[in-house]
Amino acid sequence: MNAPESVVMNIAERAADFPILARPIRGRRLAYLDNGATTQKPRAVIDALTQYYEQSNANIHRGVHWLSQHSTDLYEQARERVRGLLNAQSSQEIIFTRGTTEAINLLAQTWGAQHLREGDEVIVTGLEHHSNIVPWQMLCERSGAILRPVSVTDKGELDMAHYQSLLNARTRLVAVAHVSNALGTINPLDEIIRLAHSVGARVLVDGAQAVAHQEVDVQALACDFYAFSGHKLYGPTGTGALYVRADIMADMPPWQGGGDMIRTVSFERTTYAEGPQRFEAGTPNIAGAVGLGAAIEYVQQIGLRNIAVHEEALLAEATDSILTLPGIRIIGTSAHKAGILSFLVDGIHPHDLGTILDTEGVAIRAGHHCAMPLMTHFGIPGTARASFALYNSSDDVQALIAGVRKAQKLFGVGLDG
Ligand code: PMP
C-alpha cells in the first residue's frame, strides 16, 4: 500500500477533530484504544446531527411539505453515501439498520427463513462475533438446518482446508467476518467467496471491523450480503446497513411489518414496498443516517487507504514494543491483520490489566470480545485488546506499553525484563 509519508504522518493530527479526545480522563491525557468496541465522533458528525435537528427535522417519505421532502432527500443522500462506501451498484441495495447485529438478524429472519430447510447447512467460522453465530444458530434450531463452524489455526487464521471440506451441495450460506474483532485477522474473502459460490452457497460478510479501516468493494468481492455498524465508523450509535445484491433482495420477504414498508394495505391483503423500504418499517433513525453519511464523507476525505497505512504502522509499533516486555503472549499472529492487538500478560488477568491501564488514561477492552468459541479454542477466558483508529498516534502506543510495564511492576511479574 502506497501513501505519501506526509499524508500518513498527518492523520493522527486529525485527533483535533474529535472533541472527546481533549477531555482528560482520571487527570491524564486519554489514549483511547477501544476502537473495536466503538469509535469516537468527529466534530463533522456531531455538527451534522445538531444541524439536522436544528434545520431539517421532519418525518420522511410520506410528507408533502417542504421539510419532509428535505429530510427525505437527506436520508436518501445518506443511503447513496453508504452505496459509495461499499461500492454497491445501486443505493437500492442498501438497507438501513441499527447496526451489524440487526442487519444479520434481518437477513436470518428473511432470506434465511425463506431458504433454509431441514438438513441444509450454514457455515460460520470459529472467529465470528456472537452476532454472526447466534442468529444462525437460532435459525438452525427453527429450521432443522445444521451449523458448521470452520476451525481456526494457532495463528488465529481460518483453516482453509477445513473450510473446503465443509462445503457441499447442502451448504446454503457462508457467514464470515471480514476482519476478526478479537484478533484482527483479515480473512481471505476472495477465496472464501469463490469456493462458496462454486457449491451454490450465498455469502454474508460481517464488515463491522473492516469498513473504518480499509476500502471495501462489494462488487469486486462478489459477496451477496455485507453488514456493518455506523458507530465503529466514527458515526452515530444505532446506525448501520445491510447490503443485499439487488436480484436477491427482490425475492426477500419482509420482516417487521408496519408503516413505510407497504404499498397497499387492506384487511384482505397487504402488498409490500419494493427495495430497501420493504425492510425499513416505521420511522427510521433519520438523524443517525444523516450522521452516518457525514462520517462516511469524513473518512473518504482522509482516504481509507491512508487510514489503513496509518493503522498498520501503529499495529507494527505496538506489536514490536510490547514484545520487548517479558511474559507477553500475542493472541492472533496472522500475517494479514488489521489494527487490533490482542494479548495476555503472564501473571496478570486481562481485567486487572485493563483497570490499571485505565488509571493511566489508557482505554482498552478486556474479556472475551463476544467471541467465546474463539477464546475456548485458545483455552483462555479472554484477552486484553488494544484497537487502533485514525486519531491514534505513537504517543498512545507508548502510553499502552508504559501502562503494561507499570502493571507488571505492581504485580511483581516480569521484573527481570
Ligand atoms: N461483528 C463484529 C466483527 C463486531 O466487532 C461487532 C461489534 N463488536 C459486531 C458484529 C456487532 O456490532 P453491533 O454491536 O454494532 O451490532
User: 234 and 89: one domain?
Assistant: yes
Residue 370 known to be catalytic: yes
DSSP 287-304: HHHHHHHHHHHHHHHH-H
265 plus 392 within the same structural domain: no
Q: Report whether 125 contacts 177 (CB < 8 A).
A: yes
pLDDT at 114 over 70: yes
Question: What confidence score (pLDDT) does residue 414 get?
Answer: 75
How confident is the prediction for the chain on average, in pLDDT? Answer: 96
Percent residues over pLDDT 70 in the chain: 97
Residue 316 in this model has a pLDDT that exceeds 90: yes
| Same-domain check for residues 163 and 89 | yes
- Residue 58 three-state SS: coil
We report the CATH number of the domain holding residue 309 as 3.90.1150.10
Query: Does residue 383 fall inside a structural domain?
Result: yes
| Domain encompassing residue 393 | 5-32+303-406
pTM of the model: 0.97
Choose the weakest-confidence range: 2-16, 106-120, 198-212, 248-262.
2-16
Q: Which atom of ligand 1 is nearest to the CA of 100?
A: 16
Angle 43-51/286-302 helices, nearest 10 degrees? Answer: 150
Domain end point (choices 253, 273, 300):
300
283 and 308 together in one domain? no
Is the pLDDT at 5 greater than 60, yes or no? no
Q: Is residue 40 part of a domain?
A: no
Q: Which residues sit with their C-beta closer than 6 Å to ligand 1?
A: 99-101, 129, 131-132, 177, 181, 206, 208-209, 229, 231, 370
Q: What is the amino acid identity at position 115?
A: H
Q: How many other CB atoms sit within 10 Å of the CB of residue 348? A: 20
Instruction: Give the pLDDT of residue 1.
Output: 44
From the candidates 113, 147, 160, 370, give the one annotated as an active-site residue: 370
Contact 318, 324 (CB under 8 A): no
Q: How far away, in angstroms, is 205 Cα from ligand 1 center?
A: 12
Same domain, 383 and 238: no
Domain match, 296 and 307 both: no
Q: What is the pLDDT, as a whole number, of residue 62?
A: 78
CATH code where residue 76 lies: 3.40.640.10
Residue 180 belongs to some domain of the structure: yes
Shared domain check, 395 and 308:
yes
Q: Give the Å distance between the CA of 102 and the centre of ligand 1.
A: 10
Indicate whether 123 and 147 sit together in one domain.
yes
Output the pLDDT for position 338.
Answer: 96
Number of domains making up the chain: 2
Instruction: Say which residues have a Cβ less than 8 Å from residue 276's Cβ, sequence separation at least 6.
Output: 79, 92, 93, 94, 95, 96, 249
Ligand 1 site-directed mutation target among 125, 127, 181, 242, most atoms within 8 Å of CB: 181
- pLDDT 10s digits, 380-390: 999 999 999 99
Tell which of 300, 317, 351 closes a domain: 300
- Same domain membership, residue 273 and residue 135: yes
User: Are both 385 and 356 inside the same structural domain?
Assistant: yes
Ligand 1 centroid to Cα of residue 60, in Å, is: 28
Judge whether 124 lies within some domain.
yes
Specify if 128 maps to a domain: yes
Note the pLDDT tens digit of each residue in 71-98: 999 999 999 999 999 999 999 999 999 9
Q: What is the pLDDT of residues 267-313, one digit of tens each?
A: 999 999 999 999 999 999 999 999 999 999 999 999 999 999 999 99
Torsion of CA 104, 83, 6, 18, to 10 degrees: -60
Which cell goes with 145?
438446518
Residues 361 and 290 in one domain: no
Residue 63 and residue 197 share a domain: yes
Is 414 a domain residue?
Answer: no
Flag whether pLDDT at 391 surpasses 60. yes
Is residue 7 predicted with pLDDT exceeding 70?
Answer: no
| Confidence at residue 221, expressed as pLDDT on a 0 to 100 scale | 98
Place of cell 508504559: 402
Domain membership flag for residue 18: yes
3-state secondary structure of 351: helix
pLDDT, residue 417, reads 46
Residue 39 lies in a domain: no
Report pLDDT for 13.
Answer: 87
Task: List residues bridging with 122 in a β-sheet.
Answer: 147, 173
pLDDT of residue 415: 64
Given a cut of 50, whether residue 375 has pLDDT beyond it is yes
Give the pLDDT mean for 217-230.
98
Q: Which of 255, 271, 300 is the last residue of a domain?
A: 300
